[in-house]
Structure 1
Amino acid sequence: MSKFGELIDSETPVLLDFFKEENAQSTAMHPVLREVAATLGDKVKVIKIDIEKNEALADALRVKGLPTLIIYKDGEMKWREIGPQDAHTLITIIEQYF
């Protein structure tokens, strides 16, 4: 978990996508996240976290539905949503934290 703390303790907004490969809604988010990352460049960190490989972290953050999207800035959770989102919506939300 210490690596996670270092990851989210950033002045740059961090968008976490908790997903599972067998979940259709999760995999549908992959191109959306690529678009967000391409549009915002180094203004955001976009990180995909496979819940099957990171069960302890998913449990600690109480990830129940997929995909779960969370934005952190300066180590603090700023936004959280369960379910797919479109790129425009995510970009607009992330821009609030620049």
Structure 2
Amino acid sequence: MKKKFRKRIAEDIPTLVYFYATWCVPCKLMRPIVEQVAGELGTAISSIEIDVEIKKGIVKRYKIKGVPTLILFKSGTALWRHTGVMPVEDIRIAIKEHL
């Protein structure tokens, strides 16, 4: 997964990475919001979900201290990051600034 993950975030198309945990109630609230934004933006972005309990190496590398965390990558660089629940419109605005 690490190689696949690095390849995805290195693409020219922005990649929204959603870090979550299955036991996290706020993560359950964020999942449909993230899916909605990814669906609305279609091919303008790609998205990945990372379970912090399973992909601990990736979590450590990007210093994920809380969930849910969203990071927008493009060409391997983190362009934007947010931890916690966030309204759908705020996510749209943040992502569109980097398209």
TM-score of the aligned structures, taking structure 1 as reference length: 0.93
What CA deviation, in whole Å up to 9, does each residue of 1:60-85 have, x standing for no partner? 11111111110101111111111011
Alpha-carbon distance in 2 for matches of 1:88, 1:25: 17
Gaps of 5+ in 1: none
Q: Is 1:77 aligned to 2:78, yes or no? A: yes
Identical residues among aligned pairs (%):
29
Alignment partner, residue 15 of structure 2 = 14
Task: Give the length in aligned residue pairs.
Answer: 98
1:56 alignment counterpart: 57
Aligned to 2:48: 47
What's the TM-score once normalised by structure 2's chain length? 0.92
Gaps of 5+ in 2: none
RMSD between aligned residues: 1.0
